[in-house]
Every structure is written in structure tokens, then in C-alpha cells.
């Protein structure tokens, strides 16, 4: 009886098991989300949903410009085992175009598709760029959106090299060399569409051209230079710091000729000078001992006229003329700052209260609208009012001060400052806005010293010579500097 | 005799059984270092932050340390293709900040893109920014919770907001606080010298200002399923009373965020998981999927959620004497400046 009962239980169990039906496989694919859409690129996500650990021979996406998917772009991601998400990417789409998207899986040669999504690729746009000022060869970054791989950038008519496109929104390009214009439009061309910034790009300008060479093979140091009409005078000082020059060489800008002009006074180095005066300096070579030349000369149209000797010892002083008066700043013979004023009418020298910084020949200086401006070695720019005898700091020189002894020249409302020893930098200061703009650096050795600088019309004339420590002979080239030249 | 013998045998057996109890060492497997993304952008102009970290083995810092993910390129891109670069915070590694004044635009969809130093790229699913819903009246009152075996109940301040819910759409709300600060009251005149144990009153300082990061441990979320288009009073924040915060003046910024339905679902699940109490009615622990995805391996688990929300906020100053119940004063018998983080002068934006 027990056996029969056990057998019945066993049969019942078997019957129960046989009643359990196999769960039917349920597999489908869905087009889940568009993760990223731009002008030419789409990144999309799909998902295989299944109650089985299935394997597909291929999966991916269909993209087409028509809802019937007649000529689809197939993004094939290959085999996949098991359900789950998948991400596909398509490039080279047309911007501003409507596309239809669906996901697919292929199993046993049979295709299954997910739902269809409609999308429109985006149009490119531009936002900003920086810097708006620079020189050829530097990088420039353009910010916008939906830039494609085929994006072209033009500076005027010059095509720029595109270095990188980050997140289709940040273009880094190499600024092409300028051709003939300093200010050019920046244009971006994407798939034939052109986009132009309102703000134009400005090239760093400043063209240096050699117009002549000093007529002697010497290296002139610690010299005097001044300008009379079209004549640029270079002289006194020493040749190679070994021999005094007793004369001047005059370059005539108009006739492009050189002429030797004798100086009736004694030789000297480290004298102060303007276009009308020469004074002070050292009377003998070397510094042991330092012998000061106290003679003071006026430069006239016909030659040189000696005036009463200086009432103070001057070596490497800085001289400026304004309001028919001569102002002499500092002297290496003195400790601390000093300022002397010479009035030619009376021939009287007076000492004024000391300036706020130790200005001497190391400082660059200029005059503008009745004021004297001096650039101290700490880069601060001071304005001296000769009427009120007051000082005010107005700006800071942004460039390198090198080892001092730079130049500053005024053309209209712009001042060109730079070429301090061991620096080739040239900067433009707009006196109306007190804003700075860098100019192209001067060619040649940075370890150079200014021999002379002049302004005539809208251009500057500059002569530099490598430092005494640089061995060898170097021609003393006279450069014409066009601040706006390209 | 046999009774005594039996007792000895019995005791011996008990002793042997107790000797068999072995301490149970919980062994936690090495945790996978998963990228974790946490942060949001909102319609409120400012610097919004995204934090990137790597998860590690559960346990003490000796088991594993949650490390910031530094030097990543993090951008937020809207559905027009406008990309905003986030800058890594120089003070907090792994914290990436939008530029000053950045604000998400309601109605736009935003995607977070992350490129790690190893070249791996991650993207969020697009998050659509919902319109911000203006903050209505904010009310607050003290609430108490009896504690077994204690005379004084626990207490805190509950903040309730009037939500004037727009009826045209389904809204999902999330409330957070920031800029929590209060006057820290101390009694420097009661200072006792620790060595001599003699009174040594100090001249300064009785009042300081202490900033805190509290209130966001619990999640305050709501959906307008039950009050769509109606005005409703919703608990939006709870600040526990520690005997210091509500003595005089307390302030906080209450942010009302309107998040997406997906973000709400994520927050609800996180809230459920963080509020598990061990009850039989608790939901089972589960791995909560965020909205970040690895573009190199879509099956890679990325934790966290990138949210884009509409935001309205308001600064609230609360005076302790307005509360019905406050915890007994926690006495600081010293200069208040000894408390870590306390500052003597109020910040410039302290305008109670």
C-alpha cells in the first residue's frame, strides 16, 4: 500500500513538472536616446531588451533623410552577446538636415528594428574669438558651436591652419602671416556657409627696414645723437670703448647720404644731449679715475656754440627740452635723484626739487603736450608738469626693461617705447587712452644698445649695435621703423 | 554524587559550547573604483559645481578611500551646441565649476561631457531644464521627538513652503539648503584655566559666526501628482537643534529646484535607500542607475546623476526666540573663536 502511495506521489510530481511551460523568448530593440547631436555628428543610444542571454550577429543604427530609410547610413556595431545598451556614432552628416533614426539588431539573418526617431542636425554658429590682436604664427581660439571637421578659417583672404576642434565648439587656429593689411576680418566657412565676426582681427604691426649703414666699421658706444632737419647725427662717445670719437656722422634722410661733421669741443662719453644741447660726460676713457667734462654746448643751425660750463657734474644724465627750457635729470656722479633746469634766455641753471625716482640716462623719456614723461626702472611711468613742478604716476610699462637705456618717441598721440638693453620689444602707448599695444620686435641681437633714435614724419629711425661683450664686428645698420607697417 | 557529577558534566558542556563561539568577521570584497558624478546646473546665475570621484571598498579609510578625479575635461553642452567649459576648483580637487554667472536656460536640454586623463569619455543623458516655480511663503516651527530614556526630547526646526504648483505640467520638486550660518554664542567669562582649574575669564569673544553644511542629509522631494495646479504646503527642510544653532540668529538659503522626472525618480530611490531602517517593510537595497554613460563601454557602471534644474531661492533669517521649543543651551565656556570654523566678524552678506 505504501509503495502505491509513493508511486502516486511521484507521478503527481512528474505531472506538475510537465505542466511548467518554457518561458517564450522575448527580445526586442529600442532606439533609446540621442546623446549628442551637432552639425555633422550624432551619437545615439539603443538598448537590446530580452529575457534571454541572446547573441546578435550585428546591431547598430539606421540613419536616413527619408522615413522609409531608402538609402540609409548604417552604423554597424557588430556582434553583441546579451541584452543591454549600445552607443553608436555617425559623422559627416549634413547640417540643418532632417534625419530619421532607428536602431536594429540582426539575428540569424533576420533584422529587427526599434522605434523611429526624427531629428534635425544643428547649424553652426560663432560666438567670440581671442586674442583680437596678435602676430602671425600665434594661436587663436574661436568659440562657437557645431563646427565640423571641414571647417575653414580665413584671416582676410589668408586661410589659417586649424590645429584642433574641441567639442565641436572651440577651434584653435594658427594665425597666418599678414599680407598687406594690419586689420582683417575673420571668416569661418562651414559646408559652404560663411560666418564672419563683427570685430576684426588686428595684426601686431611694425615694419623695420634697413635703409643705410654707418659709414665706418666701428662699434659706437656711450655716444651722442641729435636731429637737425633731415639730418640725423651720431657721434662723440667711443669706438669700441677704446678710442674717443671727435666728430659726428650725419645721415641725411632726404638725400640718403652720410657726411662727417667735426665737433669743436673736447671728446666725451656719457654726455647728456638734446637736439639743441650737449653737456657733461666723461673726459677720459676708463673709470679710474672718472674725470668729468663740464663743458656745455649749444647746437645751432650753423654748428656748435660753447656756453658757460655746467654748475654740476654730469655723467649719464638725461636731458629733455620743453617750453624753451632744458631739464637735466640725475647724474651717476650724484647719489639719489636730482633735477636741474636751464633757461637759455638768462643762461641760468637752477636746481629743482628731486624727482620721485632716480631718473638718469637709463630711463626712457619723452615730451607730450607740454609735459615730460619718464619711465623708471620699476616700469612706472611718471608725468612731470614743468609749470607746477608736480609729479604723477600715470601708467606702467608692460614690456621688459632689460637693463635700461631704452627709447621713447612720439608720433602724433602715440608713443613708441622699448628697445631697452637686452630686449627687442617695442610697445605703443596711446596717450589718449593710456592703453598699450605691442609692436613687432626689432630684428637683430637682443643684446643690443641703441645708438640713436629719431622721428621724422610718421616713421622712426633707429640704430642699434650689439653689446661690447659680443665679440666680432657688426655693421651699424640704420633702420626705418614704420609703426603701422606689415 | 551522581547529581554533582551530572552538574559538573552539564557545566562543562556549557563551558565547551561557549568556547565554540567564534567572532564573525565581515569580509567585504574589494570595491570597484567606479566613476561617480554628482552635481547640477540650475537657472540661478552663479558657479555651479560638478564633483567627480572614484568609489572604493566599503569600510574605513584604511579599506578604501573615495578619491577625487582630477585633471578631467568637463563641459556642459546645450541642445543648440553651445558648450561651457568647467574649470577645476584650485582648492577642492575633483570639483569642477562653471564660469561665474553661468545659468542654465529653462526649456533647454543639457548634456554633461567628461573626458578623463586616461582618454575615457563619459556623457550624461540629456537633461531638460524645467521652469523654476517661484517660492511661496516659508513657514517654520520647532518639532520634537521623544527619546527613550531621555528627559529632553530631540528637536529641530521644520521649514514648510507654500508651493503654487503650475497646473499645465507635471512638476518634480527638490529642496536643498546652502550658506547655512548662525550666531555662535559662547561664555568666555566662564573660562576655567585647564591646568590650575581656576576661573580665568576672557575678554573676548562671546559672539562669533559659524558656517555649516547641514540640512541636506535628508532628501526633501515632492511630485505634484497629488496637488497639480494647486497651492500646497510641503515640508522642505529640517534643521536639527544642537543647542547652539537657534540661540539667537540662524540663517540659510532655501533652494527650490524643479527637476526632471528622471532626476526625481533617482532622488526618490536614493532617499529610500538612505532611509532604510532595517524594518521588514523597507524596500530591498538595489543599485540605482544614474544618467551617466561611458561612451567607450556602455555597460560600464557609472554612479551618480547630472541634474539640470529650474531654481528659485530665498534667504531666511530665523530668530531663536520665535521658536516654541529649543534644546537646552550647549555651553561653550571659552572664547567662541576656538570653535573650528568660527569667525569673529559677520560676513558682508549677513543682514538679519
Q: Which residues of A touch B292 (CB under 8 A)?
A: none
Chain B contact set for A43 (CB, 8 A): 123, 295
Residue B126: name the closest of A127, A122, A32, A94 by CA. Answer: A32
Contacts of A86 in chain B (CB under 8 A): 298
Is the per-residue pLDDT at B25 higher than 80? no
Closest CA to B75 of B98, B94, B103, B108: B98
Domain annotation covers residue B303: no
Q: Are A102 and A82 in contact (CB under 8 A)?
A: no
ipTM over 0.95: no
State whether B81 and A38 contact (CB < 8 Å): yes
How far off is chain B from A118, nearest CA to CA, in Å?
A: 15
Q: Please say whether the structural domain A207-482 has been given the CATH code 1.20.120.1760.
A: no
pLDDT of residue B216: 75
Distance to chain B for A375, nearest Cα, Å: 37
The secondary structure of B39-95 as a DSSP string is EEEESS-B--EEEEEE---SSSTTT---EE--S-EEEEEETTS-EEEEEE-SSSTTE
Among candidates B11, B282, B235, which has minimal Cα distance to B140?
A: B235
Residue B202 pLDDT class (50, 70, 90 cuts): very high
pTM of the model: 0.76
Interface residue A35 vs chain B (CB under 8 A):
yes
pLDDT at A21: 59
Which whole-number Å values give the CA distances from A443 to A207, A419, B16, B212, B244, in the listed order? Answer: 10, 11, 98, 60, 71
Q: Are B171 and B309 in contact (CB under 8 A)?
A: no
* A125 contact residues in B (CB cutoff 8 A): 80-81
Tell me what the mean pLDDT of segment B112-123 comes to. Answer: 95
Mark yes or no for CB contact A45/B293 under 8 Å: yes
pLDDT for res B14: 65
B147-184 confidence digits (pLDDT tens): 988 888 999 999 999 999 999 899 999 999 999 999 99
Contact between B184 and B265 under an 8 Å Cβ cutoff? The reply is no
Of the candidates A418, B186, B14, A1, which has an alpha carbon nearest to the alpha carbon of residue B6? B14
Of the candidates A328, A455, A314, the one whose C-alpha atom is nearest the C-alpha of residue A386 is A328
The pLDDT, as a whole number, for residue B4 is 72
Residue contact A169–B298, C-beta within 8 A:
no
Identify the DSSP state of A241.
Answer: T
Please count the structural domains in chain B: 1
Q: Which residues of B touch A87 (CB under 8 A)?
A: 293, 295, 298
Query: A351-390 pLDDT, tens per residue?
Result: 999 999 999 999 999 999 999 999 999 999 999 999 999 9
Q: Is some CB atom of chain B closer than 8 A to the CB atom of A125?
A: yes
Q: Please tell me the distance from the alpha carbon of residue B83 to that of residue B95, in angstroms, as a whole number.
A: 18
Region for residue A419 given its phi and psi (left: phi exceeds 0; alpha: psi -120 to 50; beta: otherwise): left
pLDDT of A16:
59
pLDDT digits (tens, 9 = 90+) for B35-61: 999 999 999 999 999 999 998 877 766
Asked if B66 has any chain A CB less than 8 Å from its own CB, the reply is no
pLDDT at B108 over 90: yes
Instruction: Give the mean pLDDT of chain A.
Output: 92
Using the predicted structure, report yes or no on whether residue A418 has a pLDDT greater than 60: yes
For residue B61, being part of any structural domain is answered with no
pLDDT score for B33: 87
Q: Is B289 on the interface with A (CB under 8 A)?
A: no
| Distance between B293 CA and the closest CA of chain A, angstroms | 9
Map out the domains of chain A as residue ranges.
27-120, 125-203, 207-482
pLDDT tens readout for residues B83-95: 999 999 999 999 9
The CATH H-level superfamily of A125-203 is Immunoglobulins (2.60.40.10)
Confidence of residue B9 (pLDDT cuts 50, 70, 90): confident
Per-residue pLDDT tens over the stretch B266-320? 999 999 888 887 788 888 888 888 999 999 998 899 999 999 999 999 999 999 9
Q: Are the Cβ atoms of A122 and B75 closer than 8 angstroms?
A: no
Query: Is residue B329, in this structure, part of any structural domain at all?
Result: yes
Q: Choose the mutation target among B74, B76, B81 for the interface with A, i.e. most A CBs under 10 Å.
A: B81
pLDDT confidence of residue A446: 86
Q: What is the per-residue pLDDT across A207-238, written as a single tens digit (0 to 9) for each? A: 999 999 999 999 999 999 999 999 999 999 99
Within 8 A of B111 by CB-CB distance, chain A residues are: 35-36
* A127/B82 touch (CB, cutoff 8 Å), yes or no: yes
Tell me if B100 is assigned to some domain: no
Kindly give the pairing relationship between strand A158-166 and strand A125-130. unpaired
pLDDT at residue number B18: 58
Residue A159 scores a pLDDT above 90: yes
Please tell me if residue B68 touches chain A, with a CB cutoff of 8 Å.
no
Measured between alpha carbons, how far is B182 from B242 in angstroms, rounded to an integer? 12
**8-state DSSP, A292:** B
Decide if B202 is inside a domain. yes
Q: Is A170 on the interface with B (CB under 8 A)?
A: yes
The answer to whether the Cβ–Cβ distance between B82 and A169 falls below 8 Å is yes
In the predicted model, is pLDDT for residue A156 greater than 70? Answer: yes
What is the domain extent for residue B342? 132-261+310-352
Where helices occur in A299-386 by DSSP H, the ranges are none
Please report, for residues A55, B31, B271, B272, B291, the alpha-carbon distance to residue B283 in angstroms, rounded to integers and kept in the order given. Answer: 33, 23, 11, 7, 22
Contacts of B299 in chain A (CB under 8 A): 84-85
In a domain, B138, yes or no: yes
- Residue reference for cell 532622488: B267
B19 part of a folded domain? no
Looking at residue B61, its pLDDT comes to 67
Give the one of A87, A122, A127 whose C-beta lies nearest to B298's C-beta. Answer: A87
To which residue does cell 662717445 refer?
Answer: A237
Would you say residue A18 has pLDDT above 60?
Answer: no
Chain A: closest CA distance from residue B123 (Å): 7
Tell me: pLDDT of B64 over 80: no
Interface test with B, best of A31, A36, A44, A103 (most B CBs within 10 A): A36
Residue of A nearest to B125 (CA): A35
Q: How far is B260 from chain A (nearest CA, A)?
A: 15
Interface membership of B77 toward A (CB under 8 Å): yes
Residue A7 burial by Cβ neighbours in a 10 Å radius (0-12, 13-18, 19+): exposed
Name the closest residue on chain A to residue B113, using Cα atoms. Answer: A167
Unique residue bearing C-alpha cell 572604493: B56
pLDDT for residue B67 is more than 60 = yes
What's the pLDDT at B16? 60
pLDDT digits (tens, 9 = 90+) for A262-283: 999 999 999 999 999 999 999 9
Report the pLDDT averaged over residues B224-236. 93
**Is A460 a residue whose pLDDT tops 60?**
yes
pLDDT at A14: 58
Confidence of residue B205 (pLDDT cuts 50, 70, 90): very high
Residues of A in contact with B300 (CB under 8 A): none
Asked if B299 lies within 8 A of A87 by C-beta distance, the reply is: no
Mutate to test the interface with A, among B83, B84, B115, B121 (most CBs of A within 10 A): B83
CB contact (8 A) between residue B293 and residue A167 = no
Q: C-alpha grid cell for residue A475?
A: 655693421
User: Do residue A45 and residue B298 have CB atoms under 8 angstroms apart?
Assistant: yes
- CB atoms A43 and B113 under 8 Å: no
Comparing alpha-carbon positions, the chain B residue that sits nearest to A81 is: B299
- CATH topology for A27-120 is Immunoglobulin-like (2.60.40)
- Please list every residue in chain A whose beta carbon sits closer than 8 Å to the beta carbon of residue B81: 38-39, 122, 124-125, 145-146, 168-169
Please check whether residue B211 lies inside any domain of the structure.
yes
CA distances from A179 to A152, A184, B214 (A): 18, 10, 63
Measured between alpha carbons, how far is B310 from B337 in angstroms, rounded to an integer? 38
Contacts of A190 in chain B (CB under 8 A): none
Q: Is the fold of A125-203 the same as that of A207-482?
A: no
For A238, half-sphere exposure in the C-beta direction (CA atoms, 13 angstrom radius) is: 14
**pLDDT of B224 above 60:** yes
DSSP state of B270: H
Which residues in chain A are closer than 8 Å to B85, comparing Cβ atoms? 170
Contacting A residues, span 40-79, partner chain B, CB-CB under 8 Å: 43, 45
Using a CB–CB cutoff of 8 Å, tell me whether A348 touches chain B.
no
- Per the DSSP assignment, residues forming a β-bridge with A128 are A143
Instruction: List, in order, residues 6 or more apart from A346 with CB less than 8 Å away.
Output: none
Per-residue pLDDT for B17 more than 90? Answer: no
Amino acid at each position: 500500500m505504501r509503495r502505491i502511495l509513493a508511486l502516486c506521489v511521484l507521478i503527481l510530481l512528474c505531472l506538475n513538472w510537465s505542466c511548467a511551460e518554457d518561458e517564450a523568448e522575448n527580445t526586442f530593440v529600442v532606439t533609446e536616446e540621442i546623446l549628442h547631436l551637432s552639425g555633422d555628428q550624432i551619437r545615439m543610444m539603443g538598448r537590446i531588451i530580452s529575457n534571454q542571454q541572446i547573441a546578435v550577429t550585428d546591431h547598430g543604427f539606421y540613419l536616413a533623410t527619408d522615413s522609409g530609410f531608402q538609402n540609409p547610413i548604417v552604423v554597424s556595431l557588430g556582434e553583441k552577446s546579451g541584452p543591454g545598451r549600445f552607443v553608436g556614432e555617425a559623422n559627416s552628416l549634413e547640417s540643418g538636415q532632417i534625419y530619421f533614426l532607428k536602431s536594429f539588431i540582426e539575428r540569424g539573418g533576420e533584422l529587427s528594428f526599434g522605434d523611429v526617431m526624427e531629428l534635425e542636425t544643428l547649424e553652426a554658429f560663432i560666438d567670440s574669438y581671442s586674442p583680437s590682436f596678435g602676430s602671425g604664427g600665434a594661436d587663436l581660439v574661436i568659440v562657437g558651436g557645431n563646427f565640423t571637421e571641414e571647417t575653414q578659417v580665413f584671416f582676410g583672404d589668408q586661410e589659417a591652419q586649424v590645429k584642433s576642434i574641441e567639442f565641436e565648439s572651440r577651434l584653435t587656429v594658427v594665425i597666418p602671416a599678414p599680407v598687406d593689411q594690419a586689420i582683417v576680418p575673420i571668416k569661418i566657412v562651414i559646408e559652404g556657409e560663411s560666418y564672419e565676426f563683427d570685430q576684426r582681427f588686428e595684426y601686431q604691426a611694425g615694419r623695420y627696414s634697413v635703409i643705410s649703414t654707418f659709414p665706418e666699421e666701428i662699434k659706437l658706444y656711450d655716444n651722442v645723437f641729435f636731429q637737425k632737419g633731415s639730418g640725423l647725427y651720431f657721434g662723440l662717445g667711443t669706438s669700441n670703448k677704446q678710442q674717443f670719437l671727435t666728430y659726428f656722422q650725419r645721415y641725411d634722410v632726404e638725400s640718403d647720404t652720410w657726411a662727417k661733421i667735426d665737433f669743436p669741443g673736447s671728446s666725451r662719453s656719457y654726455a647728456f644731449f638734446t637736439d639743441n644741447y650737449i653737456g657733461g660726460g666723461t673726459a677720459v676713457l676708463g673709470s679710474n679715475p672718472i674725470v668729468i667734462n663740464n663743458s656745455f654746448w649749444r647746437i645751432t643751425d650753423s654748428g656748435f656754440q660753447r656756453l658757460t660750463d655746467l654748475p654740476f657734474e654730469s655723467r649719464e644724465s638725461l636731458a629733455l627740452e620743453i617750453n624753451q627750457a632744458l631739464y637735466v635729470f640725475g647724474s651717476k656722479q650724484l647719489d639719489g635723484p636730482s633735477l636741474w633746469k636751464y633757461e637759455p634766455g638768462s643762461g641760468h641753471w637752477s636746481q629743482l626739487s628731486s624727482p620721485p625716482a632716480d631718473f638718469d640716462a637709463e630711463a626712457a623719456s619723452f615730451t607730450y603736450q607740454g609735459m615730460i614723461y619718464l619711465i623708471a626702472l620699476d616700469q612706472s611711468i611718471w608725468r612731470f608738469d614743468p609749470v607746477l613742478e608736480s609729479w604723477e604716476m600715470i601708467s606702467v610699462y608692460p614690456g621688459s626693461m632689460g637693463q635700461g637705456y631704452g627709447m621713447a618717441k612720439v608720433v602724433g598721440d602715440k608713443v613708441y617705447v622699448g628697445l631697452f638693453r637686452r630686449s627687442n620689444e617695442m610697445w605703443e602707448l596711446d596717450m589718449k587712452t593710456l592703453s598699450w599695444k605691442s609692436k613687432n620686435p626689432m630684428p637683430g641681437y637682443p643684446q643690443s644698445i641703441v645708438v640713436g633714435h629719431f622721428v621724422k614724419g610718421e616713421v622712426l629711425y633707429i640704430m642699434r649695435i650689439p653689446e661690447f661683450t659680443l665679440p666680432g664686428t657688426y655693421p651699424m645698420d640704420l633702420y626705418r621703423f614704420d609703426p603701422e607697417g606689415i | 554524587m551522581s547529581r554533582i557529577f551530572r552538574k559538573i558534566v552539564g557545566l562543562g558542556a556549557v563551558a565547551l559550547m561557549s568556547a565554540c563561539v567564534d567572532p564573525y568577521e565581515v569580509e567585504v570584497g574589494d570595491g570597484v573604483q567606479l566613476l561617480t558624478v554628482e552635481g547640477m546646473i540650475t537657472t540661478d546665475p552663479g558657479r555651479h559645481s560638478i564633483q567627480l570621484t572614484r568609489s572604493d571598498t566599503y569600510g574605513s579609510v584604511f579599506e578604501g578611500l573615495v578619491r577625487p578625479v582630477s585633471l578631467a575635461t568637463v563641459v556642459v553642452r546645450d541642445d543648440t551646441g553651445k558648450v561651457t567649459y568647467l574649470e577645476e576648483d584650485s582648492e577642492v580637487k575633483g570639483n569642477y565649476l562653471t564660469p561665474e554667472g553661468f545659468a542654465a536656460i529653462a526649456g533647454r536640454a543639457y548634456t554633461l561631457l567628461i573626458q578623463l586623463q586616461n582618454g575615457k569619455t563619459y556623457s550624461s543623458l540629456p537633461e531638460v531644464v524645467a521652469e523654476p516655480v517661484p517660492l511661496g511663503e516659508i513657514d517654520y516651527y520647532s518639532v520634537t521627538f521623544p527619546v527613550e530614556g531621555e528627559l529632553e526630547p530631540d528637536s529641530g526646526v521644520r521649514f514648510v513652503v507654500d508651493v503654487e504648483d503650475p497646473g499645465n505640467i507635471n512638476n518634480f520638486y527638490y529642496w536643498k539648503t546652502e550658506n547655512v550660518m548662525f550666531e555662535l554664542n559662547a561664555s568666555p567669562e566662564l573660562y576655567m584655566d585647564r591646568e590650575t582649574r581656576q576661573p580665568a575669564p576672557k575678554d573676548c569673544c562671546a559672539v562669533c559666526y559659524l558656517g555649516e553644511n547641514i540640512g541636506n542629509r535628508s532628501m526633501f522631494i515632492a511630485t505634484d501628482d497629488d496637488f497639480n495646479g494647486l497651492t500646497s504646503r510641503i515640508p522642505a527642510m529640517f534643521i536639527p537643534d544642537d543647542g547652539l544653532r537657534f540661540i539667537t540668529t540662524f540663517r540659510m538659503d532655501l533652494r527650490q529646484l524643479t527637476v526632471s522626472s528622471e532626476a526625481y525618480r533617482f532622488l526618490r530611490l536614493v532617499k529610500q535607500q538612505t532611509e532604510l531602517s532595517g524594518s521588514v517593510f523597507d524596500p530591498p537595497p538595489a543599485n540605482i542607475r544614474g544618467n551617466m554613460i561611458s561612451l567607450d563601454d556602455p555597460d560600464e557602471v557609472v554612479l551618480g546623476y547630472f541634474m539640470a534644474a529650474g531654481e528659485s531661492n530665498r534667504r531666511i533669517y530665523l530668530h531663536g526666540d520665535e521658536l516654541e521649543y529649543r534644546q537646552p543651551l550647549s555651553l561653550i565656556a571659552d572664547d567662541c573663536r576656538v570653535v573650528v570654523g568660527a569667525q569673529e566678524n559677520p560676513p558682508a552678506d549677513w543682514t538679519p
